[in-house]
Amino acid sequence: MPSAPGLRRGDVVRVRLDPVEGSEQAGERPALVLSPDVINEHSPVVLIASITSRKTERVYPFEALIEPPEGGLTLPSKVLLMHLRSVDKRRLTGRYGTVSPATLRRVENALKVATGLTSI
């Protein structure tokens, strides 16, 4: 998926995150595309937030829950807005699906908390 044709904000993609340091999310995992479509179309990098299926029973204000089968995921998962990263499109290895507009709004609200644009 190096050229990532048609990549859009709200897409759930598979990404290779290694190498990492310390507590950063590692390995090959799902992530949510957050960069705007115009950037996704023209830039070699894309802004993503890591997704995990661990510890979904508690969702913090800087996280957003995705219930399967939304986004092509098979397990309840959280978008980790404290784990934002710009990655080269060559790190993208596949696409699972796309989240709904309602879920994307929840993600955007959690992103505002994670970046201090709104208070908890």
Q: Using one digit for the tens of pLDDT, what is the confidence trace for 5-55?
A: 789 999 999 999 877 666 556 578 999 999 999 999 999 999 999 999 999
Give ∠ CA 2-7-53 in degrees, rounded to 5. Answer: 90
More confident: 2 or 38: 38
The pLDDT assigned to 2 comes to 47
More confident: 118 or 104: 104
Domains and CATH numbers, the chain: 11-114 (2.30.30.110)
The pLDDT assigned to 108 comes to 97
Structure tokens at 88: 């080269």
pLDDT over 90 for what percent of the chain? Answer: 80
- Helix and strand element counts for the chain (H, E): 2, 6
Over residues 85-100, mean pLDDT: 95
Q: What's the CA gap between 57 and 13, in Å, rounded? A: 23
**Is residue 84 over pLDDT 70?**
yes
The pLDDT assigned to 18 comes to 77
The pLDDT assigned to 22 comes to 61
